[in-house]
Every structure is written in structure tokens, then in C-alpha cells.
Chain A
Amino acid sequence: MLITNLEFLPDRKIHKHLGLVQGSSVRAKHVGRDIMASLKNIFGGELRGYTELLHDSREEATERMLEQARGVGANAVLNIRYSTSSIAAGAAEIFVYGTAVELKDND
């Protein structure tokens, strides 16, 4: 599956539009990480635990979007966008969406 945030690809043509596909994931940190983060917060620096958590969350959301795309028979998702919102203390939602299409090589 080809995923890109470009709207079109110069050497491929869109054979069929298959509509919007999306995926989301809400994750929270466990207490241990929160405690570590609040300690880190005194001295500054990267909060690696959170970086990893959001990274994994983003991967999961993307995977869910791809599942949907496969379901409608797409071979590419174009113009994808990510959005992140922290919905509660300690939990963040990652949302990703894009247009599922069937691409063909130009010959």
C-alpha cells in the first residue's frame, strides 16, 4: 500500500476514487511513566516515554486506516493528514485520514 500526503503522483493516474478512509487511536500512559515524566519535568529534556507512546499510537492509527483502505480495495491512500489532540490529562487521540484510490502506472 502506497501512502503519501501528496494529492497526486506525477507518473501514476488515479483509476478510481474509493472515498475517505480513516483511523484513530487513543492512548494513555501508565502511572509509572507519568511519575517519570513529572520528575523529568523538573530538569527538562525529552520525555522519551511519551515520544514512544505517541509514535506507537500514530502507527496504530495508520494501520487502522490501511485496514479500511484494503477493505475497499485500494492500492494507495493519497493526501493523508494527521491530527493530534490531548483529550484528557494523560490521554491523547491520534487521528489520520486520507483518500483511498486505485492507482495505475502510466504507460
Chain B
Amino acid sequence: MIEAGFFVVLLVGGYIFGRLAEKRHMKSIIKREAINNALPAIASRHPPTDQPYHQHLVGGSVVIGSDYFKSFMSGLINIFGGRVTPFETLLDRARREAMLRMKEEARRYNAAYVFNVKYETTRVATGKVAAMEVFAYGTAMIPGNRQLSSVISSA
């Protein structure tokens, strides 16, 4: 009886707080994307040659955990098969957040583009904890010529 009560509390708590966290996060993502859309992230390996650039590696990462309700739902969906939407939204948030953090770093260098963008997704598992890490990285192309010697001395 006590166990069942505990389970219901976790489930309801997970649902309410999980939804709140997700809503808050999506709001922040949409707001920041509007600002950062001016800086294109490009998956091409061929850097532009229209003007001189110097380069800097930039990256952003985030670990986002599932909540109790999501984990429970995915367990249910697993029985019948089909789309596991609770985890789809989780990964979508993680990927967009990682991309934003990468772009925010690139903007600090006044980059015009981020080239050769790669995503990396890893499960960070510890016992019952279900969490995903997404790491996005690429090369920030910063307009302006900088001699190699100054690049080396500043590193």
C-alpha cells in the first residue's frame, strides 16, 4: 500500500515538474533561437573563401535527464511498440540546447558562420538514471585576417 502510494506520488510529481521543466526549457530555447538564427551553423566541410577568416573551434554540450513520468511512459510504450514521444522531445531539447550553447560561444568571437558542425549523442547512464548528453561542435569562422604567429602566441 505504502509502495503504491509512493509510486503514485513519484508519477504525479514527475509529470507535473517534468512538464514544467520542459515548458520552461522550450520557452528559453525558442527565445534564444530567435537571437542566434542570425549565425548560421553549416554542415559543410568546405569553408567559404569570399573573404579572409580565422578559425576557432567552438562547442556546446548539455546533459538532460528524463523524469519519472517519461521513464514510466516509455516503459509502457515499449510493450506495444511505436513512437516514444517522451524521449523524442527530450532529445530534441538536448540537441537544440547544445546547438545554442555552441552558437553562443561562437558569437562571443564575433563569428560569421560555424562550419562542419557535428553532433554527438551519448547515453550517460548511472543505475536508474536515464540521461542523454548531446555535444555539438564546429569551426567558428571569424572574419578578418590574423597571422598564424599571433594565433599561436595567444593559444
CB pair A5 B137 closer than 8 Å: yes
Residue on A with the closest CB to B139?
Answer: A4
Distance in angstroms from B18 CB to nearest chain A CB is: 4
Q: Which residues of chain B come closer than 8 Å to A54, judged between CB atoms?
A: 61, 63, 124, 133, 135
> Chain A CB within 10 Å — which of B45, B57, B138 has the most?
B57
Distance in angstroms from B46 CB to nearest chain A CB is: 8
Partner of B126, one of A2, A11, A55, A89: A89
CB pair A43 B14 closer than 8 Å: yes
CA distance A43 to B66 in the complex (A): 8
- The 0/1 profile, CB within 8 Å of B marked 1, for residues 1-20 of chain A is 11111111111100000000
Interface size class, chain B? 35 or more
Q: Which residues of chain A come closer than 8 Å to B48, judged between CB atoms?
A: 10
Given A42-B10, A75-B152, A47 contacting B63 (CB threshold 8 A): yes
Main secondary structure of the interface of A (DSSP, over half): mixed
Partner of B13, one of A34, A43, A81: A43
B123 at the interface (CB under 8 A from A): yes
Q: Which residues of chain B come closer than 8 Å to A55, judged between CB atoms?
A: 61
Q: Interface residues, chain B, CB within 8 Å of chain A?
A: 10, 13-14, 17-18, 21-22, 25, 45, 47-49, 52-53, 55-57, 59, 61-68, 70-71, 97, 115-116, 118, 120, 122-131, 133, 135, 137-139, 145, 147-148, 151-152, 155
- Which 5 residue pairs spanning A and B have beta carbons closest together? A44-B67, A43-B17, A44-B18, A50-B63, A45-B21
